[in-house]
Amino acid sequence: MEPLSSQTRKTTDAFLSTFYVSVIWLPLIYAFISLSLQISSETLTSSFFYLLARSSLFGIFQASLSVLLIAAFSFAFGYLNVFYKFSLSSQKAISIIALFLFSLSPTIAALSLLNLGNFFKLSSAQGLSWIVACHFMMNALFVSFLFAKRLERFQLSQSHELIPLLKSFGTSKRKFIHVYLWPIFKNDFFSWAPQIFLWCFSSFAPVLLLSEGPHQSTPEILFYYSILNDRSGARIFCILLLNLFLGFFLNRSFGKSLSLQESSANKYSLKIDSYQKNKFFYFLILISIFFLFPFLLTLLQTISIIGNPKILFFFQELLTPLSTSFLISLCCFLLSFFVGFLCIVAKQDSPLIQYSNILSPPFILFAWLETGLRSENHFTSIFLVSTASFLSVFPWFYRQIKTQRDQLPIEWGLYCLSLGMTPFTYFRRILFPQHKSTLFKLAGVSSLWAFGEYAFSKVFFEKSESLPLYIDENLRRYNFDASSFGISLAYLGSFLIVFLILKSERPSSC
């Protein structure tokens, strides 16, 4: 019961589902059918099936490895927290770094690692370890930060006397982990691991940029290459089926969502005075340097060329790619905000959207290309790329808002009803201010990911027309000054968004 009528919410649900169906599912079904009519079996050789099986295994393996490493890292911080009273979540700098890394576009992160490898002339700067490193760098600190925060909240709210109690029994460290830390960790693990696994499994740009050729591929990359190069109906059909099957299976089994809600310190939360903030200060500095190393290196490269006349040349060269990426990002931000409004009002977690979790850029690309949705016009392409970028993060975006919405106390709605509040006033005074911060964060993250959009840009634009394409091209030409300059500009955008996100922090629950 709340001032928003059931009819209003159902209409919003229907609108969102129709939007999603008309831009993704229908084109995908159309493309699927039209492709199945072109199937001929001569391209389905045993070597193709071998490649397909190997890419699936590689995808699962790299995602599992990434998740395990992130889990181990986060557990270590939990251990330090419990036994050495080391508070990760009280470090403001860590929250900024964690959010910066998490919200950084995967393409920009992968390009930074590629830049690092090229700078040190590492011949094997590609491969499984680099892909896993990219996933690890983007997520480990963020996940650890969330875990530390949950652990501290648990200690404060529910069991602040549990640790002294266990100590009074003379409990050994091993037993302590078994009865205290492990159950909390396990619970926390299942709240983020499924989502991170799905992200790593369907990670596109890092695998495309950092893999060592076809033997280190995922079904999505195979799909992407088949759409662009191979054009074999039968092969595309097989990969599509496999991708959809894996997607549905993974989504059904692991359809949980990683919450962005606790991404930064809540200034209204209680503080644990007994935490020793300085004991692991140097350790924390080392960790920060480790995580930021590829990014700091790129920044240093850029700083070293400041004052050099060629920087003006880079500026000129970058004007078009930068403005294109900026427009894509802005368009995605506005789209996120508009759809976010609707998500706040919507009621159901639509299965059409829920199961779209796995539809990454190649799916949308395939659906759109097969239905002829492509434009020669620069601005139409910008709009299409930003929409595609938003669509690929939309299921996560939608679930984030729904999760927060479901956590609002039911009495809030009842209270507003008791005042005879209109739906509009209820939305304006209660729902929107409550979701504003989340909406802003999500729109910020979506726009950052759109800023680094790679797959669509590569197909929809001419050479180097967007920033990631410009960086990629210069990296491949070993023009490190230009590439590092481009990457640094991308960081600037990320820092700006993170700064604004942290500034917009408000208490989210009572």
| Residue number with CB closer to another protein (304 or 509) | 509
Among 64, 129, 191, 269, binds another protein (CB under 8 A): 269
160 contributes a contact to another protein by CB under 8 A: no
CB of 153 to another protein, least distance (A): 12
**Can residue 509 be called a binding residue for another protein (CB under 8 A)?**
yes
Distance CA 75, CA 69 (A): 10
Residues 6+ apart with CB under 8 A from 471: 108, 111, 483, 486, 487, 490
Using CB under 8 A as the binding rule, whether residue 43 contacts another protein is answered as no
Determine, following the binding rule CB under 8 A, whether residue 271 of this chain makes contact with another protein: no
Q: How far is the CB of 405 from another protein (least distance, A)?
A: 14
Cβ 12 to another protein, closest distance in Å? 20
Q: Which is nearer to another protein, 215 or 429 (CB)?
A: 429
CA 360 to chain centre: 12
Residue from 168, 316, 418, 503 touching another protein (CB under 8 A): that is 418
> Which x/- pattern over 1-40 shows residues binding another protein (rule: CB under 8 A)?
x---------------------------------------
Report CA-CA distances (Å) from 353 to 19, 358, 446.
10, 10, 17
Q: Encode 148-162: b = buried (16+ Cβ within 10 Å), e = exposed.
A: bbbbbebbeeeeeee
The verdict on 158 binding another protein (CB under 8 A) reads: no
Of 179-187, 263-271, 333-341, 444-452, which part binds another protein (CB under 8 A)?
263-271
Calpha distance 209→110 (Å, rounded): 7
- Give me the count of residues in the chain: 510
What SS3 string covers 49-99? HHHHHHHHHHHHHHHHHHHHHHHHHHHHHHHHHHHHCCCCCCCHHHHHHHH
Q: What are phi and psi of 307, to 5 degrees?
A: 100, -20
Binding to another protein in span 427-456, by CB under 8 A: 429-430, 433-434
Q: Is 424 in the site for another protein (CB under 8 A)?
A: no
Residue 453 vs residues 125, 292, 372, 467, 498: alpha-carbon distances, Å = 22, 22, 21, 9, 18
- Residue 310 in tokens: 């060629």
In the complex, least distance from residue 503 CB atom to another protein, rounded to whole angstroms: 15
- Cβ proximity to another protein: between 134 and 430 the closer is 430
Instruction: Give the interface segment with another protein, choosing from 154-162, 262-270, 300-308, 494-502 (CB under 8 A).
Output: 262-270
44: how many CB neighbours lie within 10 A of its CB? 16
Q: Is 510 in the site for another protein (CB under 8 A)?
A: yes
Cα 471 → chain centroid:
21
Name the residue among 118, 115, 470 with its Cα closest to residue 294: 115
- Looking at beta carbons only, is 53 or 414 nearer to another protein? 414
Smallest separation (angstroms) from another protein to the CB of 207 = 41
**What is the nearest approach in angstroms of another protein to the Cβ of residue 139?**
28
d(CA 476, CA 472): 6
CB 201 within 8 A of CB 60: yes
Residue 411 interacting with another protein (CB under 8 A):
yes
Stretch that binds another protein, among 90-98, 141-149, 229-237, 418-426 (CB under 8 A): 418-426
DSSP 443-501: HHHHHHHHHT--HHHHHHS-TT-SHHHHHHHHHHTT-HHHHHHHHHHHHHHHHHHHHHH
Q: For residue 247, give the amino acid letter.
A: G
Q: Any contact of residue 401 with another protein (CB under 8 A)?
A: no
- Among 425, 476, 477, 492, the residue binding another protein under the rule CB under 8 A is 425
Using CB under 8 A as the binding rule, the residues of this chain from 451 to 490 that contact another protein are none
Under the binding rule (CB under 8 A), the answer on residue 409 touching another protein is yes
Nearer Cβ to another protein (241/414) = 414
* Residue 147 identity (one-letter amino acid): F
Tell me the closest approach of the beta carbon of residue 504 to another protein, in angstroms: 12
Tell me whether residue 268 or residue 281 sits nearer to another protein (CB atom): 268
Are the beta carbons of 486 and 470 closer than 8 angstroms? yes
Q: Distance of CA 286 to CAs 94, 283, 298, Å?
A: 12, 5, 18
Considering the rule CB under 8 A, would residue 415 count as an interface residue with another protein? yes
Cβ at position 339, least distance to another protein in Å: 22
Does 421 contact another protein by CB under 8 A?
A: yes
Positive or negative CA dihedral for 353, 356, 357, 359?
negative
Q: How many other C-beta atoms can be found within 10 angstroms of the C-beta atom of residue 179?
A: 13
As measured in angstroms, the least distance from the Cβ of 348 to another protein is 19
Task: Determine contact, residues 502/95, Cβ cutoff 8 Å.
Answer: yes
**Given candidates 268, 281, 338, 379, which one binds another protein under the rule CB under 8 A?**
268
Name the segment binding another protein (CB under 8 A); options: 97-105, 106-114, 265-273, 315-323.
265-273
Q: Contact between 412 and another protein (CB under 8 A)?
A: yes
Residues found near another protein in the complex (CB under 8 A): 1, 266, 268-269, 409, 411-412, 414-422, 425, 429-430, 433-434, 506-510
